[in-house]
């Protein structure tokens, strides 16, 4: 996600952003809008301009031809095909280059892209909604609704932005979720269910959406073939992985998702899959909604056992941030 602003003197002469892969990059959009006013202007942009031929021509060449005098960028492009070469090309052409302005904010904006392009793995976010005392459901399993309407609407906006939404078989069976994006103009992410024994039924709502091919059931090589065929007959994909320590390997699954061009995955629960992902150390970011409610000791915990025996071995959250979400408290951080 890239945005660009062209400034000449003290006036903004044009802006632009990159709408989708294959379209003009942000700086090209701004240059076209500015026309002759781009000459002698300063370009402010959150990512280093590209210097290679991809789906579109190099942006550095267009900036040089337009007579840009200075480029102020938030961060270097982590793509190995760029990685400072864009800055070097501009400097050789006599354009002043500065980088690092609001660098952390720029990296956060494209955190999924940065991880994917450098490690070829999706960026993984763990999202949970709990009561103030850390419970996600009553003892009977009732969880509707712990979080408020504003928080639930925010989750649908998250689904609109991520490539895949993942739950465990327990959540898929107990809640029978659709895992769709229900906002106007939104698009559905891939729906991913981790179900090692194929307990989910073909009648589940996941298999009765307008895009059934975007449902992936992840199971083990030991799962019954007849059950797999029943799910595939509904249009779903069934991915089989060998068990590792009694569980499906998270890294094998993430590599498979990356091969399918998924840059970001949102884990939505429940407690078992959340704990499994944390134990495997594949979670990059946490998003916790805390509702101003108390369920008590007989409620179901938000994260199952992590096997931590000592306080100095606990998982530490960095870059912690807080804000309100309607009546709820939204807590985000990074591992």
By annotation, the residues acting in catalysis are: 27
- 71 bridge partner residues: 43, 97
Nearest-angstrom CA–CA distance, 166 and 254: 11
Give how far the C-alpha of residue 149 lies from the chain's centroid of Cα atoms, to the nearest Å: 22
Q: Which of 190, 186, 195, 208 is nearest to 259 (CA)?
A: 190
16 contacts: CB under 8 Å, gap ≥ 6: 3, 4, 24, 26, 27, 28, 29, 30, 31, 32, 33
Whether the bond into 34 is cis, omega within 30 of 0? no
Nearest-angstrom CA–CA distance, 108 and 1: 11
Q: Is residue 135 classed as helix, strand or coil in its secondary structure?
A: strand
Q: Is residue 78 classed as helix, strand or coil in its secondary structure?
A: coil
53 contacts: CB under 8 Å, gap ≥ 6: none
Q: Which of 268, 115, 116, 87 is nearest to 192 (CA)?
A: 268
Q: Is residue 280 classed as helix, strand or coil in its secondary structure?
A: coil
DSSP 8-state assignment for residue 137:
E
Measuring CA to CA, how many Å separate 138 from each of 133, 146, 207, 299? 12, 10, 27, 4
Report yes or no: 181 and 154 within 8 Å, Cβ to Cβ. Answer: no
- 125 bridge partner residues: 266, 285
DSSP 8-state assignment for residue 205:
G
Nearest-angstrom CA–CA distance, 112 and 110: 6
Q: Which of 311, 320, 245 is nearest to 288 (CA)?
A: 320
Cβ burial, residue 194 (10 Å; 0-12/13-18/19+)? buried
């Amino acid at each position: 996600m890239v945005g660009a602003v062209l400034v000449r003197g003290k006036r903004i002469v044009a802006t632009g952003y990159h709408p989708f892969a294959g379209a003009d990059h942000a700086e090209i959009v701004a240059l076209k809008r500015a026309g002759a006013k781009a000459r002698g202007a300063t370009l402010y942009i959150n990512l280093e301009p590209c210097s290679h031929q991809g789906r579109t021509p190099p942006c550095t060449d267009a900036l040089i031809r337009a007579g840009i005098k200075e480029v102020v960028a938030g961060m270097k492009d982590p793509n190995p095909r760029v990685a400072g070469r864009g800055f070097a090309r501009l400097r050789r052409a006599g354009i002043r280059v500065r980088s690092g302005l609001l660098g952390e904010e720029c990296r956060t904006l494209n955190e999924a892209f940065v991880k994917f392009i450098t490690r070829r793995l999706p960026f993984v976010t763990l999202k949970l909604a709990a009561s103030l005392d850390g419970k996600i459901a009553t003892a009977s399993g009732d969880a509707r609704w712990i979080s408020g309407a504003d928080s639930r609407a925010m989750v649908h906006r998250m689904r609109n932005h991520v490539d895949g939404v993942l739950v465990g078989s327990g959540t898929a069976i107990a809640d029978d979720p659709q895992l769709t994006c229900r906002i106007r103009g939104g698009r559905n992410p891939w729906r991913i269910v981790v179900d090692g024994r194929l307990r989910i039924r073909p009648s589940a709502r996941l298999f009765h959406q307008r895009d059934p091919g975007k449902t992936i059931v992840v199971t083990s090589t030991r799962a019954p073939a007849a059950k797999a065929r029943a799910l595939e007959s509904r249009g779903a994909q069934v991915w089989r992985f060998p068990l590792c320590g009694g569980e499906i390997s998270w890294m094998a699954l993430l590599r498979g998702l990356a091969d399918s061009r998924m840059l970001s995955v949102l884990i939505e629960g429940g407690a078992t899959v959340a704990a499994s992902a944390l134990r495997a150390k594949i979670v990059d970011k946490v998003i916790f909604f805390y509702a101003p409610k108390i369920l008590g000791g007989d409620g179901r915990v938000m994260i199952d056992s992590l096997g931590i025996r000592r306080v100095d071995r606990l998982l530490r959250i960095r870059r912690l941030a807080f804000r309100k979400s309607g009546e709820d408290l939204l807590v985000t951080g990074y591992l």
